[in-house]
Amino acid sequence: MPPVYSLVIPIFNEEAVLPLLLRRLDALLDALDAPAEAILVDDGSLDASPIVLEAKARSDARYRFVRLSRNFGHQIAITTGMERASGHAVIVMDADLQDPPEVALDMIAKWKEGFEVVYAERLTRDGESRFKRMTADLFYRLLGRMSEIDIPRNVGDFRLVDRKALDAFLAMPERDRFVRGMFAWIGFRQAVVKFHRPSRAAGETKYSLAKMARLAASGVVSFSDAPLRLALWTGLTISSLAILYGLWVIAMWALNADFERGWSSIVVLVTFIGGANMLMTGVLGVYVGRIHSEVKRRPLYVVERETGFAPRVEAASGRDEPSARRA
C-alpha cells in the first residue's frame, strides 16, 4: 500500500544521535494512522552515519536511504528528500531531535482540518546562545520589512506540506534555495503548531556562524530587492552630497573666503566615495552571481546511491520526477 505520510530527514555527521533518532522515528511510524515512509538523506557525511542509515533502510521496509555524492547543503538535502517523497503529506524535520518527531502528530491533525502547509513555531529555544537568538530574531525582523511576503518568525524548516503545495514547491527551479521562504511564497492555507524546542540530543550543531550568514544572505537575495534599492539611494545620496560640497567650494572661492586649503578633505571624500562605490558594486555582484548560477543549469545535487526505493520513484499525483535534478 502506498504511503500516506512521508518523513524527510536531512542528515550530516549525526552518528552520535542516530540510535535515539531511529528509535523515536520507529515510535512515530507505529503511532501514525496510515502507512508512512521515512526518507533519510545523507548529505555527504564523513562519519559512520551513512552505514547506520543504509543498514536501517535494508532492514525496515518503511525506510528509504539517499546518499549524496558530497555535502550540498541543508536546503538541497531537504529538496532531495521531498522530490522522492510519495506520501500525500510530507513532513520535514532535522535529525538532531531539536524538531521533536512527536510534534508531527499535531501537524497531521491540522492537515486533516484542510490546511496545505503546517509549520512549527518555536516557543522556546533551549541550548542556543543569547547571541544566536538575538541575531535570528533581528534577521527575521529585517527580512519581514524588506520582503514582499510574510515569512513567519521563529520558524525553521520543520513543517508538514500537502501534496498540492509540494508540487508547487518542486516546480520552483532556483538553485539558491531558502526553503522556508519558498513555502511562504507559494501561499495556500497555512497553519501553525507551537512547540518548545529542546537542545540537541547529542553531537554538535552543523550550522556554523558562516553557514547561518550564507543562509541569511540567500533569504535576503531570494526574496527581496531591497539591497538593490539601497544601492540606488545610497549612490544618489552620495552624489547629492558631492554636488553640494562642490557648490559650497565654488561659493567660497567666489567670495574670496580664506579657508584652509589641503588634501585632507579630498582624501576623505575620495576614500568615502570609493568605498561606497565598492560596496554598491558588491551588492550588484551578489545578484549577478546568483543569475550566473541559475543560467548554468547544473543539477541541484548528485546522488551516489539509494536504498529502499522502487525502481522508478513517482509522486502520488503521478507527476514525473524533475529529471534535471536526478543523478
pLDDT tens string 99-115: 888 888 999 998 998 88
d(CA 193, CA 254): 70
Which range among 235-239, 255-259, 283-287, 298-302 shows the weakest confidence by mean pLDDT?
255-259
* All three cell numbers of 20: 535515539
- Close Cβ partners of 176 (under 8 Å, ≥ 6 residues apart): 218, 221, 222, 290, 293
pLDDT band at 319 (very low <50, low <70, confident <90, very high): very low
Instruction: Round the average pLDDT of the chain to a whole number and report it.
Output: 75
DSSP code of residue 321: P
Q: Is the pLDDT of residue 320 over 50?
A: no
d(CA 168, CA 77): 18
The vertex-136 CA angle with 22 and 151, nearest 5°, equals: 85
Tell the burial category of 204 from Cβ atoms under 10 Å away from its Cβ (0-12, 13-18, 19+): exposed
Residue 183 or 70, more confident: 70
Q: Which residue has the cell 548554468?
A: 296
pLDDT at res. 315? 40
Helix, coil or strand: residue 168: helix
> What are the CA-CA distances from residue 124 to residues 155, 191, 196, 198, 200 (Å)?
11, 19, 5, 8, 13
Q: Is the pLDDT of residue 220 over 80?
A: no
**Do the strands 117-125 and 5-11 form a parallel or antiparallel pair, or are they unpaired?**
unpaired
d(CA 73, CA 211): 9
pLDDT at res. 135? 64
Helix, coil or strand: residue 104: helix
pLDDT at res. 136? 62
- Would the pTM count as exceeding 0.85? no
Tell the burial category of 311 from Cβ atoms under 10 Å away from its Cβ (0-12, 13-18, 19+): exposed
Residue pair 117/107 in contact by the 8 Å Cβ criterion: no
5-224+298-325: CATH number: 3.90.550.10
d(CA 13, CA 205): 10
Q: Is the pLDDT of residue 9 over 90?
A: yes
Residue pair 325/76 in contact by the 8 Å Cβ criterion: no
Cα of 120 vs its chain's centroid, Å: 15
Q: Is the pLDDT of residue 160 over 60?
A: yes
pLDDT at res. 314? 43
Which range among 10-19, 89-98, 214-223 shows the weakest confidence by mean pLDDT?
214-223
Q: Is the pLDDT of residue 188 over 80?
A: yes
Residue pair 202/16 in contact by the 8 Å Cβ criterion: yes
pLDDT band at 155 (very low <50, low <70, confident <90, very high): confident
pLDDT at res. 265? 62
Helix, coil or strand: residue 249: helix
pLDDT band at 172 (very low <50, low <70, confident <90, very high): confident
pLDDT at res. 152? 72
d(CA 124, CA 195): 8
3-class SS string, 143-168: HHHHCCCCCCCCEEEEEEEEHHHHHH
pLDDT at res. 174? 76
d(CA 162, CA 36): 14
